[in-house]
Chain A
């Protein structure tokens, strides 16, 4: 990887630059005469000719060159008529490039651009969702006001498209239309409202973006979708996450009461617990009983936490600012580690993150104190990074660490980067004022710096000392004396001048030294630098006014010297001072005020952080970085005194409402159950990895009835796919089998989606046409022109433009795939398990349980506590000679998503007594271990239950025909198989049956063939089918095949079955 980037940087630079610019030209145009400006005109001629040509390849070359010109900022507008003709080209590559061209020039040539509109309108109805999406994208990018109504209509239609990808593009188009014509706002809000209800993770980020741009104040639109957004968040693509988190931060600040109120007093000792573990947190929570956090508030905080681990700095920062602005103060601490991690990133990220840390560290030192050393400066850091780090170090300085810091600062002061050295001196000054213990040390250190050779350092030191002294009038004497002594050794004029100024200012406090200093200065006046001379004059004047007895003559001597100085400034100043202080007949009214003029109280400068006033901006925003309100900045509101009605987020209520009015209850109930389901989705197998949303979908839609029909549909779809494929053949040049495969999966999913949609929308007030469309699809799926998702079809030739980015399309698939999962729940009747001897496992050995022994076994019954749980029976034995009391389950450490229904506390267990209790554990279809504590009155024992894979199943009764049908749909990735070799006596039907059911809780499927044995089961959690086939072959071998969506469980089961079956 590193070698790759190295190679890149080697060839980058100037060469790289031209390369990038000319990629479209130099590599493609054979003539290669592109660089000559003289041939530009002629050149466009040949481009026109190429565009007129019959050959696609010539057109494509021409378009590539033209797009190259656009990228370089050259004017290609005169080619507009020639280019626009090709908008209807059959060749998808040409089409894409023409789109790029149109987006750039349509605004300039509106009349001609209108010619292309009808093509887009047609493309908006294209069966291929990618074409529909890109047509919408281009249409909305053409900034021609006259087509606003067309755009509006297109957006409305696209927002109800079956493909989430098209709906996502509809959300993008909303922003573009809004910027073109803000008049459309109300209509667009309606679309946004509709899209906010969308269940797809693909749409969520984009629609929230549109919301933020068009109607950020319509917080009421969020209520009903709040929980859904929180639950979807982890699965949304990273850019969407940033936008959603920022929006939800604002939302939370308007809807929840402050979690901080009670904590204000605690803030000081936050150090004690900001790093604390959960127990302590709980304690503090208990302490302030008066405040209970809204569960929705908690939901947001909890669901954003994993995102702190994102590889995307913007996501991490977004979560950090969310915690900063809305979480209880005791929980903010967790963000520091992640923010410090970002400091390893490139300088731009460092810059922004450091700025935000600087603001945070002013208010809460404790948060970043453990990471103090991460802010140490390296000589190779850019100056802007150095100064920011310094700023943070200053904020973090306290009595405990100041000595370490000062030592560090000493190194910085000597830095070759003088700007930075100067900033360090300022910093030392600030530390000196903030921490009284070190004021003297700092002052001494600064005084030493006065002898530095570098003028910037000296000047800065003097300025800082000056400031420090102004703030602490009591201690003036000693230091001023010391500085006066330094005058003998210091040569830098600025420093000398500054010291003289200081003595002059404080001449009344050092009455003995000041005149002496003046005497010395008078002696060497002529050889001093002009700057120093001016200050000598000032000092003289001040002394003359306060102590004229001792200094009258001296001052007059100096004034005389000054009168004849070579420098006119000095002569001028001399005249001015003389007139002012020495009373004579000509002196005006001013001389009365001479003392006030010279010895006025000068205000002490304030030494404070430049980041002090930034905290009123939301962290992580542009406004915060610039420290001014950027256009479009949305103020973070203060917490409301009383929380607005929390029931507005209740989806149950909305559900009813929606049923009656919009009929789109489906989505709502989906998100309602989402909260639990999301956790249930510990995604332990490959196919389930997609997203929690699908899960919740499946729950809401799982009137189990759909499942089978959906499956059947998808199967029949497969047939149609081939038919469609023929239709598509004209378009597609390439089609390899693997792609055909994937496309069929997508297809079935998009279709099943259509089904669920039409279901939910059957009552809704939709545009009737659409409705008709859908019902038509539903009734007669065989004739439906499904949207194809065949990328190979779409991009056989390369161009980096106008393609949906790969980053989007795969997630789209995840989406579709999820939808696929969601609707494939079929009627699976659970049958009674085949009897097998009970296999018990040790939960707690009596030795380690101090006499309490526990065993568990899986009774293979549907669990009474929940239909996603596996029932587990635990037998407890008391082997001691006394009662064991209060046996219960204590702390659970379950993998996220796993749930457990515990048994009721057992009051007491007699010696030698034994009791069996039932529990339910939802293992989420994974073999992950459930760890929990088995507690008695006196002890707690950590125990684990790890389910054998075979116990995660429930047997299913099924006919052979159904079995084959289901098996046919679970091929490819969903199929695993292996060959077993064993003695023939092991392959008798009864032995096989016995062996298989011993390992796994499966049901027997009656088989028509002697050599094939079939078993069916479903997974307990998700109800996915698990089909096991043992097919006997010749010569004591057998083929073991497992078909399931849950490929991980499938392969684990395969591994467990194999040795059992091959055993003797």
Chain B
């Protein structure tokens, strides 16, 4: 399947290679570099490249390219998924400290995904229900597309072999679910209960999509007025953010990112709240807003300097919005209870809900 693997950093150095069959020369990566040059940015490097003797399948993660060399037909997703797992493993291994000196122990256990002989003095099970709103809002403020994607991440520190079942108040909300292998699929099919012997530590229990029939509440609105004057070297920029359908919770961690048109030279803005930066090279405007207080809505106003002589931009830029609402799952999903079987102690249990903006875009 995968013949060789090369790791390439952002400055184009091949700093690690691994060959599973015969050794393939580094020069095979030249085809990759060629494709990289052709692509406007890293995001546009095609994941599958055909060369005279090999096929290159690559992924881009954390400023690194993982380039695999393939010789024969293989499902490309197989390779892509595998490379991402490799990247995950590296992240796990190098992420926390520099290099761990020991590999994890107790890997051979009766349950494939759980190490044996787990012991904790404090037995805890935490679940984070994280929902992200993907949305496209059009110019007039109406929703073109909105959908909720959620995950339940778990942090389980329980001794022994606990057998957990997690039930929801409203499991029917979950439209399409993908599971960690520990979950008993049949139990879910029949009872809509997540029954599982958890892996030890952090893991993603499920990811789900909330059925698209449900209307998605959009917690913020943006009033915007962005205009570029014809035959003049300046324009106006004025945006205000306000809460909407926020279920009485505070919206925090708001950030607005705007990719301004190329003709924009600079921006002179005044925020009523938070701070903004404009990068004249990448033309990216970032406004770090913080919290919304309904009494005084945050706004960002000012002038845009355009390259003189250049035609005014055709389109106003889209606003990408990030926000966070604590203690709320926007879909209304609620965990009903968590039961533990198989162990005698009483664990400490906790569920946290967070709603975030996913790919949340406002067209202007």
Contacts and interface: CB of A to CB of B under 8 A. Distances in A.
- The answer to whether A and B belong to the same complex is yes
A380 B320 contact: yes
A797 interface: yes
Nearest to A1055: B341
A801 B341 CA distance: 38
Interface string A609-635: 000000000001111011010111110
Interface string A379-400: 1101110000000000000000
A684 B187 contact: yes
A380 B361 contact: yes
Which of A73, A383, A742, A973 counts the most B-chain CB atoms under 10 A from its CB? A73
Contact of A1048 (B100, B163, B317, B361): B163
B90 interface: yes
Interface string A526-562: 0000000000000000000000000000000000000
A973 B128 CA distance: 29
B21 A311 contact: no
A895 B187 CA distance: 7
Contact of A12 (B11, B62, B147): B62
A348 interface: yes
Contacts of A414: 314-315
A346 B87 CA distance: 13
Q: Looking at A19, A234, A348, A384, which has the most chain B CB atoms within 10 Å of its CB?
A: A348
Given A623-B73, A742-B109, A306 B184 contact: no
Interface in A1-31: 1, 4-5, 7-9, 12-14, 16-21, 23, 27
Nearest to B62: A12
B14 interface: yes
A353 B112 CA distance: 30
Contact of A810 (B73, B107, B160, B184): B107
A634 B74 CA distance: 10
B108 A746 contact: yes
A687 B181 CA distance: 15
A911 to B, nearest CB: 37
A347 B209 CA distance: 19
B55 A376 contact: no
Nearest to A143: B22
A107 B22 contact: yes
B109 A72 contact: no
B184 A348 contact: no
Interface in B256-275: 259, 261-262
Interface residues of B, number: 120
Interface stretch (B78-86, B236-244, B288-296, B330-338): B78-86
Contacts of B191: 895, 928-929
B91 to A, nearest CB: 5
Contact of A622 (B55, B112, B163, B311): B55
Interface stretch (A43-51, A274-282, A811-819): A811-819
Interface string B1-32: 10000010111011111111111001000000
Interface in B108-133: 108-114, 116-117, 128
B149 A344 contact: yes
A373 B75 contact: no
A897 B185 CA distance: 12
A1037 interface: no
A317 B178 contact: no
A791 B81 contact: no
A626 B81 contact: no
A1052 B195 CA distance: 15
B175 to A, nearest CB: 8
B21 A179 contact: yes
A621 B153 contact: no
B108 A789 contact: yes
Contacts of A791: 105-108
Contact of B318 (A246, A317, A379): A379
B346 interface: no
A686 B177 CA distance: 22
A5 B91 CA distance: 7
Given A20-B7, A813-B109, A895-B187, A104 B19 contact: yes
A104 B23 contact: yes
A382 B43 contact: yes
A348 B59 contact: yes
Most chain A CB neighbours (cut-off 10 Å) among B11, B62, B81, B313: B81
Contacts of A71: 16-18
B91 A8 contact: yes
A72 B163 CA distance: 45
Given A349-B77, A895-B190, A745 B62 contact: no
B33 interface: no
Given A8-B62, A176-B21, A310-B178, A896 B189 contact: yes
Contacts of B163: 685-686, 1047-1048, 1051
B363 interface: yes
Contacts of B361: 378-380
A962 interface: no
Nearest to B105: A792
B176 A341 contact: yes
A746 B20 CA distance: 30
B349 to A, nearest CB: 18
Given A16-B64, A625-B48, A689-B184, A928 B190 contact: yes
Given A8-B91, A13-B10, A416-B262, A633 B108 contact: no
A739 interface: yes
B136 interface: yes
A800 B104 CA distance: 11
Contact of A416 (B180, B209, B315): B315
A116 interface: no
A535 to B, nearest CB: 24
A262 interface: no
A795 B91 CA distance: 21
A19 B9 contact: no
Contacts of A789: 108
B215 interface: no
A445 B311 CA distance: 22
Nearest to A1051: B341
Contacts of B23: 104, 107
Contacts of B95: 4-5, 7-8
26 contacts: A8-B91, A104-B23, A242-B78, A311-B207, A313-B80, A314-B81, A337-B175, A341-B176, A344-B134, A347-B43, A347-B60, A380-B320, A626-B48, A682-B187, A689-B184, A746-B108, A795-B103, A796-B102, A803-B103, A813-B110, A813-B112, A895-B186, A895-B187, A896-B186, A973-B160, A973-B161
Q: Which 6 A-B pairs have the closest CB atoms?
A: A738-B117, A632-B72, A17-B9, A414-B315, A895-B190, A810-B112
Given A742-B109, A743-B108, 12 more contacts: A13-B63, A19-B98, A314-B78, A318-B75, A373-B144, A378-B136, A379-B318, A411-B138, A414-B314, A416-B259, A625-B76, A631-B71
